[in-house]
Amino acid sequence: MVKLEVKKLKPGMVVEKPIVTKRGQTIAKVGTVLDSKLIARLNFYKITEVTVDSAVVGEGPKTTEQEEVKEAPKPEPVEEPKEEPPAPPKKEATPKIRESMSYTSKLQSDKEFQDFQISYSANMATLEDTFDTIIFGDGNISETELIKKAESMFASKTSIQLFDLLHCMKSIDDSVYAHSINVALISRAIGKWLKLPREELDELTIAGLLHDIGKAEIPDEILNKTEKLTDEEFELIKSHALRGSKLLKKAGFNSDIQFAALQHHERSDGSGYPRGLEEDEISDFASIIAIADVYDAMTSARSYRKPKCAFQVIAAFEDEGLQKFNTKYILTFLERIANAYQNSMVILSDGRRGKVVYINKNKLSRPIVQVDDDEMIDLSRESGLTITSVM
């Protein structure tokens, strides 16, 4: 193994010692293969050196230790003859469907995504510093600076661009900070759809960024536990709402931002926590953030399941969630999300690929889809067929 400065790291190197932030948060485990995104994030966390496997340092700058490692000459690649299998008889897919199949991979290689990725990492570092300042009370919080940075990720993007960019960032493993940024941006999108004035949009964005700050007082081993939580552990996690509200009050944030932290797990039917409030008792910011919070959680990967696509989340809300959230906000959100994916490429539960051509207003999770052979499938009439992925 060899210790290298961050500026000398190259994609493909393998981490030999865990990379840990100043607050003890592990952002890369032993065996992690570095990529350009992770290397960029290390600078934002003020990490200066990383220990990597000297055997796979490659052509990076060599230290004395590395010079002892000799690479065997690489043989010239031999191109194997490829046997072309006979093409199965089927109708040619329409050009539009074929061209759209690599949309996600194209987006990830696009400069706009790369700029968003850098801004996203910078915002995570800023948010971590903000959490520290609030918790330890050792500095001043610039709400203007928080808004300015968050807004830079939102500026000049349509709804589907924003949600697509966030979807492509789902590999980020800093759950509290990444989740908080996602919730802030999704909440701001909802606020725009509701035509909130600029001042309220800014406060809503700050509330989204800080809604989970109480989790900073919960041990990581409990927050990240993959096994079933004990009753005591679950109660401790639930306490983050009250803890966060107290931290924000002490730091001088206004009551709307405090209530967002306190009430974002309350539900309109009285089934939430910490106080079992009902719809008219829950603040507007908390009601909006609750929706963004659940949407981001469901579209993120968990140890026990894969991330759900937008239409699967809409279906979950339709099946069991409408009564739990503010009626006005949830209906606006679901309709906007569904319509944002009009004309998008999707994969159906039977493996076929197609294009969303019409949103059914009475069943938003079950649009009409045009599949590769030009057949139109109305999913609202096909109980056994669903959308499992948006491409």
Q: How far apart are CA 252 and CA 229, in angstroms?
A: 33
Q: How far apart are CA 310 and CA 185, in angstroms?
A: 16
Measured at the CA of 149, the angle between CA 148 and CA 153, to 5 degrees, comes to 110
pLDDT tens, residue by residue, 228-245: 899 999 999 999 999 999
pLDDT of residue 81: 39
**Range 245-254 average pLDDT:** 93
Task: Pinpoint the residues of the chain covered by CATH 3.90.105.10.
Answer: 2-64
pLDDT of residue 307: 84
Q: Is the pLDDT at 122 greater than 50, yes or no?
A: yes
pLDDT of residue 69: 37
Omega prior to 85 cis, within 30 of 0: no
Q: Where are the alpha helices (DSSP H) in the chain?
A: 36-44, 64-67, 95-100, 103-109, 111-136, 143-154, 159-168, 175-193, 198-210, 220-223, 231-238, 240-250, 255-263, 284-298, 310-316, 327-340
Residues in the chain: 391
Average pLDDT of the chain, as a whole number: 81
Question: How many Cβ atoms are within 10 Å of 192's Cβ, its own excluded?
Answer: 14
Q: Is the pLDDT at 65 greater than 60, yes or no?
A: no
Under CATH, which architecture does the 2-64 domain have?
A: Alpha-Beta Complex (3.90)
Q: Is the pLDDT at 24 greater than 50, yes or no?
A: yes
Classified as helix, coil or strand, 116 is: helix
pLDDT tens, residue by residue, 296-353: 999 887 766 788 999 999 999 998 778 999 999 999 999 999 998 888 899 999 999 9
Q: Is the pLDDT at 74 greater than 50, yes or no?
A: no
pLDDT of residue 70: 39
CATH code matching the domain that covers 109-307, chosen among 3.40.50.300, 1.10.287.3510, 1.10.3210.10, 1.10.1200.10: 1.10.3210.10
pLDDT of residue 145: 75
Task: Pinpoint the residues of the chain covered by CATH 1.10.3210.10.
Answer: 109-307
pLDDT of residue 30: 86
pTM: 0.73
